[in-house]
Amino acid sequence: DAMVIQNPRYQVTQFGKPVTLSCSQTLNHNVMYWYQQKSSQAPKLLFHYYDKDFNNEADTPDNFQSRRPNTSFCFLDIRSPGLGDAAMYLCATSLRLGGGQPQHFGDGTRLSIL
Amino acid sequence: GESVGLHLPTLSVQEGDNSIINCAYSNSASDYFIWYKQESGKGPQFIIDIRSNMDKRQGQRVTVLLNKTVKHLSLQIAATQPGDSAVYFCAENMAVQGAQKLVFGQGTRLTINP
């Protein structure tokens, strides 16, 4: 049973055209994360929500935004995608912040930029 | 900065043999470590974790060893099967600028030969 669900699995957008990726969870976890993963690289954290508190990584471009309307859903908005934003985007959840808490990942959305 | 790294980017083993994937970390204050398995086109899947107050933990066909003296983490997979072919990431939980974060190593691709 999928617990972290990402839609769509594949997304194609045009250069500069805004795109939104979605993530939902059935775990009722407090924390939701967005990672970017490029080919043959480790996931790179973009930001996370702890409940409604948004925490941006210092090196995340302003082009990337996120929304969490409720506990179950979280969205990644890319306002003006560039060619360098083509990647796999992974959503993850954890019960709480801090040590001893594994993150549970969805299967990602692969974003292509035309 | 401090980071988690892997000694070998690729590893090939014969089906049925045991495999060992290694990981070096540099943050002595890290208190929690996770191994993830990522198959092609999927998100990272939790395999096993270990806290810093332990030096060994066993799961089904997998064992994680933690050597805090030399800051080394390893994942042992017994009797490898074709389904074990994947990229394996170690990750450490560390405090970065007051926030707890999961930092991933670069990954090792494990290939099982028939």
Whether B101 has its CB under 8 Å from any CB of chain A: the answer is yes
Q: Cβ neighbours of residue A80 under 8 Å, at least 6 residues apart? A: A16, A17, A18, A63
Nearest by CB to A42, from B51, B101, B106: name it. B106
Q: How many CB atoms lie within 10 A of CB A26?
A: 12
Q: Answer yes or no: do A99 and B42 touch at CB < 8 A.
A: no
Write out chain B's pLDDT in tens, 114 residues. 334 544 448 999 999 999 999 999 878 888 899 999 999 999 999 999 999 999 999 999 999 999 999 999 999 999 999 999 999 999 998 877 667 788 999 899 999 998
Return the residue matching tokens 């080394």. B72
Task: Summarize chain B as % helix, strand, coil (round to 5).
Answer: 5, 60, 40
